[in-house]
Amino acid sequence: MTPKTPKARKSLPIPIVKRQIKGSAKARRNASRLAAVQCLYQMRQNGMNAEQALGDYAHNRMGLEEDGNVYVAADMVLLRGILTGVEERMDLLTEMMGQALNNDRSLASQEQLIQCILLCGAEELFAHPETDTALILANYVEVGKAFYEGREPGMINAALDALAKVIRPKTE
């Protein structure tokens, strides 16, 4: 008698992590955006897919305490939505961001980390119409400020704002 092999699942369940740090819903959503950028960067650097990056985040980084700082755990539903959305719509998001950037600065010419910030922001603007545009822009600018001190956060704001005007035109 041969043992049965388990069927492959399309989506892995989110593991329960005992060190998960509670935070307000707003703080958890903000943490999700930062984690999405970090996970997308990891996916691109290591050839991982979204589920692998999510698993790594959940097991190794969610609610992590580092240098005396305890980080709020991400909202895993939002984090998964952003990452899988970017993975599924990569070509569309890349094209949309390319059109939103100035003609002389393509998405491919940007640093990897800025590309990740812009792609996650574009995904959220595109696929999460229930979330206020200004909130999305402000949060991704803050993510940019976590990594950059120069002009990069302003460029992130300008690019996502230009994209938002196309994706979410104001109706008057």
Domains in the chain with CATH codes? 25-167 (1.10.940.10)
User: What integer pLDDT is reported at residue 107 of this predicted model?
Assistant: 84
**Number of separate helices (H) and strands (E) present in the chain:** 7, 2
* Residue 16 CA neighbour count, 13 Å, CB half: 1
Q: At 105, is the pLDDT very low, low, confident or very high (cuts 50, 70, 90)?
A: confident
**Cβ atoms of 33 and 120 closer than 8 Å:** yes
Q: What angle do CA 16, 14, 73 make, to 5 degrees?
A: 65
Cβ atoms 109, 117 nearer than 8 A? no
Per-residue pLDDT, 68 = 65
Dig out the tokens for 10 from the structure. 């399309």
Mean pLDDT of the chain: 85
Between the alpha carbon of residue 4 and those of residues 9, 13, 93, the distances in Å are 15, 21, 41
Residue 8 above 80 pLDDT? no
pLDDT at position 11: 52
SS3 of residue 106 by DSSP: coil
pLDDT, position 108? 82
CB half-sphere exposure, 170, CA atoms < 13 A: 6
**Amino acid identity, position 122:** A
Give the pLDDT confidence of 117-162 residue by residue, as tens digits.
999 999 999 999 999 999 999 999 999 999 999 999 999 999 999 9
- Residue 61: what pLDDT? 74
pLDDT of residue 103: 62
Residues 45/48/53/56 CA torsion (nearest 10 deg) = -90
**Are 20 and 63 a contacting pair, CB within 8 Å?**
yes
Element spanning 53, H or E = helix 50-60
Whether 18 shows a pLDDT value over 70: the answer reads no
* Residue of 46, 61, 58, 51 whose CA lies nearest to 16: 58
Segment 46-71 shows an average pLDDT of: 81
